[in-house]
Amino acid sequence: MSEPNHARRLGAIWLVATLIATPLVIFVLGPVLPPGNGSEQASGHVTDNTVLMAVMTPVLLLLIVYFVYALVAFRQEPGGILEGPAIRGNARVQIAWIVVTSAIVLSLAAYGTARLLEDGAGSGGGSSPVVVPAGPKLQVQVIGQQWAFTYRYPSYGGVETPHLVLPVGQMVELHVTSLDVVHSFWAYQLGVKADANPGQDNIAFVKPTELESFSVRCSELCGLWHGYMFDHGNVVSAADFKSWIAQQRVKFAPSQKLLPPYSTTYIPEPARRAG
């Protein structure tokens, strides 16, 4: 019995599997991938995740098909002591592998860079972000402290509220900072994450596109009640936002006088532990 052409068989199985799986990943799995379409940035992440998944599927299938095939086709018979062929390498296969893997990872890096530079991707971009989206922006400051976030609206008299409410369709410029230890502001449905560092301003941009409630969680371990450092925010219409912020200004007017003046960073006292 002559040896079948393993390479051709493998290639055929892989090709069929890829042709079936990749469209499924793109068109069935893609649309349900997180974090949803709460903002332009979140929708961007869905696209990114879909692209990454689509590129990964053929790679994953190639390896799995290969390993399963090898385990089925290239077995020692039970109790056998046969030796395999003494092949020590194949320059063409090696070069092809290096070229293909390099091409894949370099194009992924290029794609990631392009997407990052498009609108900052909702990711904390430091105190002077490289990418600043054009157009008017609503500034909101996110202040992390053990164990809650508060939000300041400098363009509305610096009012500070315990809830984040954003107008829909408006580009928001979040300035994230901390009063004590490192926190991380994570608005899941909006696709935004930025670390809150003491004495540092960390800017992220987000443009909410859907009227919805979103969750905010701290995603950097910040001590005892880290797991409880969450709240909910809302994306509302422009008119609702106007009336909400007016209410907040009235409601928090008494405490506003006691707060320090608005600043993009708050450097904590080098206060040591109690004692």
Partner 1 sequence: MSDTEAAERAAMPTWRRLLGFNLLTAVILAIVGYYFGWWLGNQFSSSSRDYVADLDYNDVALILAYLFGVVGFLVGLGFANYPLARLIGRPPSLRAKEGRGVSRYFGLCTDHKVVGMQYLVGIGIFFFVGGVNAMLIRLELLNPTPTTIGPSQYLSLVGMHGTMMMGMMTSGILGPFANYFVPLMIGARRMAFPRIEALTFWLLMAAGFILMSTIFFGGFPTGWTGYQPLADQTVAGMDSYLCFFALVGLSMTLLGLNMLATIISLRAPGLTWSRLPIFVWAVFATSILMVLAAPMLIGTLLMAMLDRTIDTSFFVAGAGGSSFLYENLFWFFGHPEVYVLALPGFGIVLELIPVFTRKPLWGYRLAVAGMLGVSLMSFFVWQHHLFVSGINAALRPFYMLSTEIISIPTGFIFLCVMGTLWRARITLAVPMLFCLGWAFNFLIGGLSGVFLSDAPSDTDTHGSFFVMAHFHYTIMGGLIFTFFAAIYYWVPKMTGLSFNERLAKVHFWVMFIAFNSTFLPLFVLGMKGMPRRVSTYADNLQGLNVWVSVSAFVLGLSMLVFLVNLVYSLLIARNRSPHNPWRSKSLEWQTPTPVPVNNFEQIPVIESDPYDYGVPLAGNGVS
Of the candidates 125, 144, 167, 233, which one interacts with partner 1 according to CB under 8 A?
Answer: 125
β-partners of residue 148 are 145
Region near partner 1 per CB under 8 A, out of 16-24, 104-112, 164-172, 247-255: 104-112
Told to check if 258 binds partner 1 by CB under 8 A, we report no
Region near partner 1 per CB under 8 A, out of 17-25, 150-158, 221-229, 247-255: 221-229
Sheet containing strand 138-145, edge to edge, reads: 159-161, 148-153, 138-145, 172-178, 202-206
From first CA to last CA, the distance across the chain in angstroms is 84
Give the whole-angstrom CA distance, residue 169 versus residue 208: 6
Told to check if 133 binds partner 1 by CB under 8 A, we report no
List the x/- string, 9-48, binding to partner 1 by CB under 8 A.
Answer: ------------------------xxx-----x--xx--x
Tokens 């879909």 — which residue?
50
Told to check if 198 binds partner 1 by CB under 8 A, we report yes
Measuring CA to CA, which residue among 255, 260, 256, 269 is closest to residue 180? 269
Is residue 176 within 8 Å of 145, Cβ to Cβ?
Answer: no
Of the candidates 140, 168, 218, 236, which one interacts with partner 1 according to CB under 8 A?
Answer: 218
Told to check if 71 binds partner 1 by CB under 8 A, we report yes
Type and span of the H or E element at 178: strand 172-178
List the x/- string, 144-183, binding to partner 1 by CB under 8 A.
Answer: --------------------------------x---xxx-
Q: Between 188 and 241, name the residue whose CB sits nearer to partner 1.
A: 188
